[in-house]
Structure 1
Amino acid sequence: MAAGTTSAASQVSSPVGIVAGGGAMPFAVAESLAARGITPVLFPLRGACDPARVEQFRHRWISVGQLGRAMRLFRQEGCRDLIFIGTLVRPSLSEIRFDVKTLRLLGNVIRAFRGGDDHLLSGVGRILEQDGFRMVGIKDVAPDLLMPEGCISRTWPSGTSKSDIERGRAVLTALGPFDIGQAAVVIDGHVVAVEDIEGTDALLARVARLREEGRIRAATGRGVLVKAPKSGQDLRFDLPTIGPRTIEGVAAAGLAGIAVIAGNTIAAEPQAMIALADAKYLFVIGLPA
């Protein structure tokens, strides 16, 4: 499978191993797989994944830096196909306790750490694929969790918002090679903020604070959050995600809505997200890739 692409038509073998970070998405993927008759096996990362929710699924705990143990557990559970999903605060190399297998691959691991999250995940993915595993993406295992094309809210973007969306897409395309972030906020044609290591929630909180401080003078109800994968990104890893929490952040930031790339953005808790967007008169639109 070529880097930067993935195929929803690939034949996923059961069971599928889910290397699970924090948040709700690992469990949403597990439920989507189970609904389609594919057995999910969670490999929750210690310190990241919610222990209470893990218990409802077949699972084996793993730790960052323990590649040898993780590979043994993947094989014991019969998981050839693997997906990385969920949030993870990246530890520094000095904080990780490596097992023997990882130490043997240390050069590859260090190279994987020298870049953004997508670079790290794709680097670890290549290590696993060299050992006989296959990395798959959301498109392969849970396409129902991806944002569809078109407006899914009752509110639609205005002409000004459409112009802001195009500016946001252009900015993210330009920033993609620098691996900075996957989101930007544009208000009346002005790029007021771009995502950094803190993530989208912090980006929106920053915009809300700038409004409170009078640094943003535009009226509330104007401006757009635009999210898109980085150019050249391996679409099996680290896709942009939106959900109810994103809607809350957009509303607090005084924006008009959200625009994301259809088919390449995860929509977490979509029904709750749409209901909240409608209640706050915000638009949520999936753009053609």
Structure 2
Amino acid sequence: MTSAAPEIASPVGVVAGGGAMPFAVAESLAARGITPVLFPLRGACDPARVAQFRHRWISVGQLGRAMRLFREEGCRDLIFIGTLVRPSLSEIRFDIKTLRLLGSVIRAFRGGDDHLLSGVGRLLEQDGFRMVGIKDVAPDLLMPEGCITRAWPADNAKADIERGRAVLAALGPFDIGQAAVVIDGHVVAVEDIEGTDALLARVARLREEGRIRAAIGRGVLVKAPKSGQDLRFDLPTIGPRTIAGVAAAGLAGVAVIAGNTIAAEPQAMIELADAKFVFVMGLSA
């Protein structure tokens, strides 16, 4: 599911978590003549980089304050982007607006990240805002279809890619993760709450321990949105760190769904992949 209307109203509110992606989105918007207003989440977003943009700080659990600030800044269209370690309900200080919606907030927390984000998004839309996705505001940040590196997947890697896609499709309804590693037809690891970097580190450790005996340069990291996922939220992301992890894990490459995966720092990612003889492939949805 994506946002219903591609006509974006300026300014756009960027609810910003950690990492580089909120700033890449803001820069993409600005380059197209759309004013970005960052709403960085306290404790997650980099204050030094936030200062370069028009911004208003917000906190998790302060829905009432956030909605007031969105309106003050004239932001009807909103996008969630960036990383965030999910707090427990007991750690959040709710404002009065959030307390009034507490039943809905608790229901949103009872599920994976996609369930949580889409639940919060629905609450905002009920108050007159519109949630949009990367496809709407920064399509240039999405992975294209085809191989974008000098290295290409061999036949064994293509078979691993298909197995990885099938595994992720089966796991999707459980809202577990968006990545799997397949080596010579064997599913050796799937992503959990630790994320993709930890998944790849685990594969590297299993190789060091002799638990994975396949030759270096075999196997693929496959990433895909969860089946039924609201594609405005929590799209899979790859970047230079992903490539470094793939190389350290001794894999041949990474395959993702084109148009539904964010490519962070694409030029640096391609250069590192070429240096490490790793392929990066965008798959047809």
Whether these two folds match at TM > 0.5 is yes
The CA deviation at 1:8 is 9.0
3-state SS of paired residue (2:34): coil
Please tell me whether residue 223 in structure 1 is matched to residue 188 in structure 2: no
The CA deviation at 1:70 is 0.2
Please tell me whether residue 154 in structure 1 is matched to residue 117 in structure 2: no
Distance in 1 between the 2:112 and 2:76 partners? 26
The CA deviation at 1:9 is 6.5
Could you tell me which runs of 5 or more consecutive residues in structure 2 were left unpaired when the two chains were aligned. Answer: none
3-state SS of paired residue (1:173): helix
The CA deviation at 1:261 is 0.1
Q: Structure 1, residues 113-166: CA drift from partner, whole Å, max 9, x if none?
A: 001111100000000000000000000000000000000001000000000000
Match of 2:66 in 1: 70
The CA deviation at 1:7 is 5.3
Between the two proteins, the alignment pairs up a number of residues equal to 284
Q: Structure 1, residues 245-267: CA drift from partner, whole Å, max 9, x if none?
A: 00000000000000000000000
The CA deviation at 1:178 is 0.8
1:227 to 1:120, Cα distance in 2 relative to 1, 3 A: same
TM-score, L = length of structure 1 = 0.98
Q: Structure 1, residues 42-96: CA drift from partner, whole Å, max 9, x if none?
A: 0000000000000000000000000000000000000000000000000000000
User: Does the Cα contact within 8 Å between 2:36 and 2:54 map onto a contact in 1?
Assistant: yes
Match of 2:125 in 1: 129
3-state SS of paired residue (1:249): helix
Match of 2:265 in 1: 269
User: Does the Cα contact within 8 Å between 1:222 and 1:256 map onto a contact in 2?
Assistant: yes
Distance in 1 between the 2:104 and 2:133 partners? 22
Distance in 2 between the 1:169 and 1:9 partners? 29
The CA deviation at 1:202 is 0.1
1:7 to 1:154, Cα distance in 2 relative to 1, 3 A: farther
User: Does the Cα contact within 8 Å between 1:244 and 1:272 map onto a contact in 2?
Assistant: yes
1:137 to 1:155, Cα distance in 2 relative to 1, 3 A: same
The CA deviation at 1:287 is 0.2
Please tell me whether residue 48 in structure 1 is matched to residue 44 in structure 2: yes
User: Does the Cα contact within 8 Å between 1:8 and 1:141 map onto a contact in 2?
Assistant: no
Distance in 2 between the 1:51 and 1:244 partners? 23
Distance in 1 between the 2:55 and 2:237 partners? 24
User: Does the Cα contact within 8 Å between 1:8 and 1:140 map onto a contact in 2?
Assistant: no
Identity, % of aligned positions = 91
